[in-house]
Amino acid sequence: MVRKTRATTPRGRQIRDAVAVACMITGLAFPALYFTFGNDLPLVLNAFRDPFMLDNGTRVSNVPEWETRRAEIKELLLGTEYGHMPGRPDAMNATAVSIMDLGNGRTLHVVTLIIIPSNATPAASFSFTATIFVPNGTGPFPAVVKVGLDSQGSQAAVNQTIMDHGYLFACYKNTELDQDTEGYDEVGPAQAAYPGYDWGSVAVWAWGAMRVADYLLGEPWVNTGSAFKPDVDPRVVVVTGHSRRGKTALLAAALDERFTMAVPNGSGTGGASSFLVQGPGAETLASITSPYLFKSWFKDDFGRFAWNEAQLPFDQHFLRALVAPRVVISTDALGDIWSNPAGTQAVHVASQPVFDFLNASACNGIHFREGGHDFTVEDFAVLLDFADTMLRGKSCIGNFYMHPFTFIAPVYYTVPGSR
């Protein structure tokens, strides 16, 4: 299946990852260096583990047993990869910052969400900013929650596109909860307020998405006072993000069932892509957990699996499967090789048996476009069309189940009860 080259040996992979880190630091073009000693087929490090295998050694045979397995998978992922996070705070206050008339009946509300971890010590609070773009009309509105602000980084400004489709668009400044650091770590406000947890930045940011959901859905522990009170349809709450924020969106949806759809875009390693199936030039577990790069995104000791991915007790198909039977579609670019699009396709294949088992086969989408590491208007169009199709009963034309890569993913298990 895969041609053996120097890059497929442990030493070769260490060289490759060292080159990757050096190129990230210096800005040199890593993919060209990789291709000088790599291959054009994905490197398969191990077969995907069976998500239906319970910790007691038996295999899931019914839906109640799957719920038991879901709890085991959550603990496995949090205890190994992302770190544990606290539950909801005792209270959260929303205060208005500004209101802007965008014309045509549309408004932009900027609010501060003040987290009070414990009512016993209300002064021990911290806050972050959310921007709420509200379309013309009366609610309840379908909603898109985005990790990060509109047009942040390599993402196109899409608030007009979202509102044109009748969706409320809620963005939040995730870095106010925990800084986005590279090559070092800082204890952010959320980690300082909850010192007993081992969560990395991705988990902190995902927890923040859940707090935005608290506000949008008017949960009883949220005090809006005179601030804007959103009117959101709880049946259509989409969470999305790009790159590291795509990792965040998928984790948030996996853990919080109020998100009825997840759209990780270009999320790569630690998101919708695989540790075990690595396309040429892809980011690896070793590179992403390097102390010179993004170790702070994950649980502090997750890097112990670097160059030893075959010993991982899971791959990212476990995370994707946690969304089932709700809706997920990963959106990626064929030219974004660092984000490992081939590995994303493999994870899609490996998670499909769970969706099939839960009678939700069509809920597991995947889309690729030409181009690179961006969050484009085309990506958001796919998001909206798939949400309209799967959650709003509309008929949208689109290719929502793309498998452009011809390799065979190492999946050797089947749906329970099938042959």
Q: Where are the domains of the chain?
A: 46-82+260-291+303-419, 85-258
Residues linked to residue 367 through DSSP beta bridges, in sequence order: 331
d(Cα 19, Cα 333) in Å, to the nearest integer?
23
Q: What is the pLDDT confidence band of residue 418, given thresholds at 50, 70 and 90?
A: confident
Identify which of 253, 165, 156, 182 has the alpha carbon closest to the alpha carbon of residue 212.
Answer: 253
For residue 204, pLDDT over 70 is answered with yes
CA angle (282 as vertex; 76, 331 as ends), nearest 5 = 75
Pick the CATH number of 46-82+260-291+303-419 from 3.40.140.10, 3.20.20.140, 3.40.50.450, 3.40.50.1820: 3.40.50.1820
Question: What is the per-residue pLDDT for 115?
Answer: 98
Q: What is the pLDDT confidence band of residue 237, given thresholds at 50, 70 and 90?
A: very high
Q: What is the pLDDT confidence band of residue 153, given thresholds at 50, 70 and 90?
A: confident
Q: What is the pLDDT confidence band of residue 391, given thresholds at 50, 70 and 90?
A: very high
Q: For residues 205-210, give the mean pLDDT.
A: 98
For residue 408, pLDDT over 70 is answered with yes
Question: What is the per-residue pLDDT for 70?
Answer: 98
| Percent of the chain scoring above 70 in pLDDT | 90
**Signed CA dihedral, 148, 153, 155, 161: sign only:** positive
Q: For residues 139-145, give the mean pLDDT.
A: 97
Pick the CATH number of 85-258 from 3.50.50.60, 3.30.930.10, 3.40.50.1820, 3.40.50.150: 3.40.50.1820
Question: What is the per-residue pLDDT for 14?
Answer: 52
Question: What is the per-residue pLDDT for 242?
Answer: 97
d(Cα 321, Cα 295) in Å, to the nearest integer?
25
Decide: 125 and 236 in contact? Cβ < 8 Å: no
The secondary element (H helix, E strand) that includes residue 346 is helix 341-357
For residue 251, pLDDT over 60 is answered with yes
d(Cα 10, Cα 16) in Å, to the nearest integer?
10
For residue 26, pLDDT over 70 is answered with no
Identify which of 107, 106, 126, 124 has the alpha carbon closest to the alpha carbon of residue 115.
Answer: 126
pLDDT mean across residues, the chain:
91
| Percent of the chain scoring above 90 in pLDDT | 86
Q: For residues 284-301, give the mean pLDDT.
A: 95
For residue 30, pLDDT over 90 is answered with no
For residue 165, pLDDT over 60 is answered with yes
Question: What is the per-residue pLDDT for 254?
Answer: 98
Question: What is the per-residue pLDDT for 127?
Answer: 98
Per-residue tokens: 8:
């497929």
Q: What is the pLDDT confidence band of residue 35, given thresholds at 50, 70 and 90?
A: very low
Per-residue tokens: 104:
């045509």
Q: For residues 251-269, give the mean pLDDT.
A: 98
For residue 1, pLDDT over 80 is answered with no
Identify which of 301, 350, 330 has the alpha carbon closest to the alpha carbon of residue 44.
Answer: 350
Question: What is the per-residue pLDDT for 164?
Answer: 96
For residue 34, pLDDT over 80 is answered with no
Question: What is the per-residue pLDDT for 152?
Answer: 82
d(Cα 66, Cα 325) in Å, to the nearest integer?
11
Q: For residues 225-247, give the mean pLDDT.
A: 97
Q: What is the pLDDT confidence band of residue 419, given thresholds at 50, 70 and 90?
A: low
Identify which of 293, 292, 239, 244 has the alpha carbon closest to the alpha carbon of residue 270.
Answer: 244
Q: What is the pLDDT confidence band of residue 18, given thresholds at 50, 70 and 90?
A: low
What is the identity of the amino acid at 90?
Answer: D
